Amino acid sequence: MSGIPGATRRSLLLALAVCSILVFPALPGAQARAAGTPALPTDRLQFGLANGPSDLSWMTGSGVSWAYRYQYISGGVNTPGNWETWQDLSLPAGQFALDYVTASHDAGYIPVFSWYEMLQSSPSSGSNESDRDFNNLNDPTTMASYFASFSLLMQRSAQAGGTVIVQVEPDLWGYLQQRARGASAASLPASVASSG
């Protein structure tokens, strides 16, 4: 993050650290699906279930009024078989996410993606998870792939329209907090501008 003013770095890290709730406007062709998409509750606690693409009928047939449907997006952004290829390869990259969001909305669920890509991305060097995350966070090539892949997830989610929740790097923030040892978030470097 060198070259980015301290206040901007702190804001960027804080923004990334918060579980992002994203509500995308419906794009043409997604308007009918978005109209039936459930909204986030404001008056009660609701529950969901980790549910892979092939398990939707179990979830809908369970008799439980689930609100959320969870899917991890993991495996590394610059590795073979990353999430962008989790569908028929004749389809556009990231079609998996669009299909998951659409199927979730059609079934009356709010889709939740746990974006967990830093650790498993290449080169992932270091003696422990904290070091591997931190080294990837400071590798310009890895971070260029990381930002491009995250951008694709946002585009596919927006294409579906409606409410989508993205939990960003659930473990990374604890490791960074330990690494900062009480110092400002601005003390931790990360490849942002240098990644392109």
Flag whether pLDDT at 12 surpasses 70.
no
Residue 75, domain member (yes or no): yes
Question: Which pLDDT does position 37 carry in this prediction?
Answer: 63
Q: Is the pLDDT of residue 170 over 60?
A: yes
- Specify the pairing of strand 110-116 against strand 68-74: parallel
Q: Which distant-in-sequence residues (6+ apart) come within 8 Å of 59 by Cβ?
A: 49, 51, 66, 69, 107, 109
Q: Kindly state whether residue 151 falls inside one of the protein's structural domains.
A: yes
168 assigned to some structural domain: yes
Number of other residues whose CB lies within 10 A of the CB of residue 170 = 12
What residues make up the domain containing 56?
Answer: 20-38+47-60+67-186
Q: 145: closest CA among 70, 89, 92, 83? A: 83
CA–CA distance, 140 with 144 (Å, rounded to integer) = 6
φ, ψ at 6 (rounded to 5°): -55, -45
Token digits of residue 191: 């490849």
Domain presence at residue 141:
yes
Query: Which pair of tokens denotes residue 81?
Result: 């078989």
Give CA–CA dist 15/23, Å, rounded.
16
Residue 9 lies in a domain: no
The tokens 């495996």 sit on which residue? 75
**191 belongs to a structural domain:** no
Residue 8 maps to a domain: no
Q: What pLDDT, on a 0 to 100 scale, did the predictor assign at position 42?
A: 77
Q: Is residue 194 part of a domain?
A: no
What predicted TM-score, i.e. pTM, was given to this entire model? 0.80
Structurally, how many domains does the chain consist of? 1
pLDDT attached to residue 20: 39
Residue type at 189 in one-letter notation: P
Of 23 and 189, the structure prediction assigns the larger pLDDT to 189
Residue 64: pLDDT over 90: yes
Percent of residues, the chain, with pLDDT higher than 70: 81
Window from 18-22, 89-93, 185-189 with minimum mean pLDDT = 18-22
What pLDDT was estimated at residue 44?
83
Instruction: Please report, as a single letter, which amino acid is at residue 84.
Output: E
How does the average pLDDT of the chain come out, rounded?
A: 84
The 3-class secondary structure across 72-113, one letter per residue, is: EEECCCCCCCCHHHCCCCCCCCCHHHHHHHHHHHHCCCEEEE
Region for residue 63 given its phi and psi (left: phi exceeds 0; alpha: psi -120 to 50; beta: otherwise) = left
Which string of b and e fits 142-166 if b means at least 16 CB within 10 Å? bbbbbeebbebbbebbbbbbbbbbb
pLDDT attached to residue 40: 76
